[in-house]
Structure 1
């Protein structure tokens, strides 16, 4: 058949979105196999001039003409949506597309720019910290939100947003923000006139924002509120959960310099950390009691002063146990172990922010009972891609007869932890996890690598199995991480993992409240210990 088709040549990125820069690269390299022609109009068909026919009819004929082409064809039909243009535009903005073209369905074909079609550039989108709010009598409550963005550990002002929420949403936002005023301070770069009108809040909530662009001082133009970035946990509360932190233990909490802020002038205080560990203790202690621990201490609150503490230290609380064993170099060293709630709570005074545990208990030091596969994303890998990779690895491990559990790392990665029977020593365990990691990487070689080094991780996820060696540790369940806003390394169910948009939303402020109405997805995980497969 003979046809004259109107369309556009594009090159798609890994997410199926056309990028002009990729088209330029492909044309420069002569990589014609990367080109796709998206057909959106039909001018002539088998000698018939269709330019006077309405667009709707021309598109229907074009769809029929191209219906036999496969998904991998270089020519693709550019489909459309009729009506509900606002919803389509919002989705285009959310996906990071260039924009939306709208055409009259009854229009004839005319070359050049006409009034029968229009192109609207999509808005940019992003998540921003809610740093404050304003109120007004005219709005009968909340008038606008003050937005911020972390840059090098400090919160910087990024302007206001006063549209996108109805009366009910505004009332709900105000109810959630008012309790956060205590102890709040203004971010960097706030204009003087804004400083006078804004009610500052602690930077604990994030809003999803659509905006046109940024000003020269980085403030958002034409910002629209699209919703709060919320997180939830759904593990049922266990009736068997033991209370490990007693009222008497809480009475022993004591810290000097309780108002000292960590990681920036809007960061949490030393007392916030002590209170966090007290509130999550019933969940965290079952996973660390009796295990060798290493600590990350940040006594000054400045990131550059944080350090890793593996061995006993001067002034250490007497309630923290110590034991001696040989390290990998054959040297006898003194190591730490948390044996009760009193020792656990006492560590806040010493600037302890992170807990890291061995995959074994002190009483059976050379018979490990946990293995960890740390999924560490390289450059260009999104959180959603890490989640999809973790789900893939879960299926692979289950096919090997193992029972994997998921935990956010507190950073950009995911820790997949597997309980195992205590039949191997550390050397054999490390060899076995090396073989398993290689098999996992082979199952999806375009996604995973087991080779260290940043150059090997670009657009790939590193499976780190080296935590399964004697003396090596991984972040303990529910441990905070020493970085902006203190995210927590949080055990989650597999269904919850897939619903999390940003793992940093599980942090020192949000997690205690979430745990108050949910259970521990890692409770009794030792019941699921399995023998390691021989590969």
Structure 2
């Protein structure tokens, strides 16, 4: 109800006015996660004085107050060292006070507070720690050694950008250079999911979310190493689609404002027989992240019972993708029908959790189980692709065992994912080896 707390009285005691042992006041502590947008220092504190925190307001981050308690000296020293490395002069959240040193909003703080004032600023805020992703698994040394390197130093030398310092998605957003560096760092694990597949691209040449657009076909001025092919369409004239032919073509794309990569579930050489299916878990606005995770785990069990080997990744938004490698033997129409039957069966068995109706109003409190990614010419956001949103979240493959350790998919972003991959390896490295025949599933 937003109240400050509860006053209670010992049940057997009479109602006497004034303070006494028979009356207690219990404050209602509110809990929130906020982006760390900056910090202040002081000689009296011996270094870090307070964190400046912010929260999303549309497409911008808005300052909501300082957090100056809750960390001991050791924690303060560690936080200050990390924040100094993220200093971002010229950036910062909207409304940031002048005494605050702005930083890239890549850290998220757990904060307890009692209330908000009329300007929505936090009152009596206390730092309770950082929200961070830790993955349990690390690749065996021999597996890491066997993985071929796709992006060479010579390829990296070809990266060229105009306006590398231009900000994307607002004053506190990342820079164009950050996009290029991210794709260079994850190229070795991302390119196996792009090479040989038709791709669609999301371009944001102005750096504004509202001006981004989907690029499915050849465009003027595109790099010559970006491949094209003609696709016959039954309902319209033939169209030219895109493929990524080599590393240099891939690395050249950030110059053209490319933020997202979306790929087909089929290889170009076997275009009519898909080798991957995707079930997209798209939750309603009121469905918490933890319920989406539990739903994905349930789907994993159902698919395993059909003899399939499912994999999971975040979407970079509120949902998850469950992807299954399959033997490329069935045509698109058959694959779409079978995945539709699987989705409908899940929805019938769990009507309070899943819905297969696309309408927004039908998703209230439920998860839209979208199987239409498995139709011909449909795409799904590619593994390791950035998403065109503030802080550039990543559609990140993760081990099933690590899924429950993720508190929010936004923590998997352009800054954190390359380090996680370097430390824990690529959870989808052996995906193709687990392809199975897609079984017939009755429609009813």
The residue aligned with 1:228 is 130
**C-alpha displacement of 1:517:** 1.1
The CA deviation string for residues 90-126 of structure 1, in whole angstroms up to 9 with x for no partner, is xxxxxx99867788xxx78224466324131211111
The residue aligned with 2:210 is 304
Q: Within 5 A, what are the aligned runs for 1:465-476? A: 465-476=371-382
The residue aligned with 1:8 is none
What's the C-alpha RMSD, in Å, of the aligned pairs? 1.8
**C-alpha displacement of 1:471:** 0.2
SS state at 1:127 partner: strand
**C-alpha displacement of 1:468:** 0.1
Whether 1:398 aligns to 2:301 is: no
Structure 1 residues 261, 216: closer, same or farther in 2, change over 3 A? Answer: same
SS state at 1:380 partner: coil
- Alpha-carbon contact 1:325-1:335 (below 8 Å) kept: yes
Whether 1:201 aligns to 2:107 is: no
**C-alpha displacement of 1:379:** 2.8
**C-alpha displacement of 1:188:** 1.4
- Alpha-carbon contact 1:162-1:224 (below 8 Å) kept: yes
Give the whole-Å Cα distance in 1 for the aligned partners of 2:39 and 2:379: 42
Q: Within 5 A, what are the aligned runs for 1:160-171? A: 160-171=66-77
**C-alpha displacement of 1:497:** 1.2
**C-alpha displacement of 1:183:** 4.5
Q: Within 5 A, what are the aligned runs for 1:128-139? A: 128-139=34-45
**Partner residue of 2:198 out of 276, 281, 292:** 292
Structure 1 residues 392, 112: closer, same or farther in 2, change over 3 A? Answer: farther
- Alpha-carbon contact 1:338-1:344 (below 8 Å) kept: yes
- Alpha-carbon contact 2:4-2:114 (below 8 Å) kept: no
The CA deviation string for residues 494-514 of structure 1, in whole angstroms up to 9 with x for no partner, is 121111011011111111122
Structure 1 residues 425, 159: closer, same or farther in 2, change over 3 A? Answer: same
Structure 1 residues 98, 188: closer, same or farther in 2, change over 3 A? Answer: closer
Structure 2, gaps ≥5 residues long? none
Give the whole-Å Cα distance in 2 for the aligned partners of 1:97 and 1:214: 11
Structure 1, gaps ≥5 residues long? 1-19, 21-95
**C-alpha displacement of 1:291:** 0.5
Give the whole-Å Cα distance in 1 for the aligned partners of 2:15 and 2:298: 49
- Alpha-carbon contact 1:235-1:520 (below 8 Å) kept: no
Greater Cα radius of gyration, structure 1 or 2:
1
The residue aligned with 2:166 is 260
Give the whole-Å Cα distance in 2 for the aligned partners of 1:206 and 1:506: 12
Structure 1 residues 293, 219: closer, same or farther in 2, change over 3 A? Answer: same
SS state at 1:236 partner: coil
**Partner residue of 2:180 out of 252, 267, 274:** 274
Q: Within 5 A, what are the aligned runs for 1:440-455? A: 440-455=346-361
The residue aligned with 1:336 is 242
Give the whole-Å Cα distance in 1 for the aligned partners of 2:427 and 2:215: 29
**Partner residue of 1:175 out of 81, 89, 111:** 81
The residue aligned with 1:216 is 118
Greater shift in the superposed pair: 349-358 or 225-234 = 225-234
**C-alpha displacement of 1:212:** 1.1
Question: Relative CO higher for 1 or 2, CA cutoff 8 Å, sep ≥ 6?
Answer: 2
Give the whole-Å Cα distance in 2 for the aligned partners of 1:529 and 1:515: 23
The CA deviation string for residues 355-380 of structure 1, in whole angstroms up to 9 with x for no partner, is 00000111110110000000000131
Give the whole-Å Cα distance in 2 for the aligned partners of 1:460 and 1:111: 48
Q: Within 5 A, what are the aligned runs for 1:363-382? A: 363-382=269-288
The residue aligned with 2:436 is 530
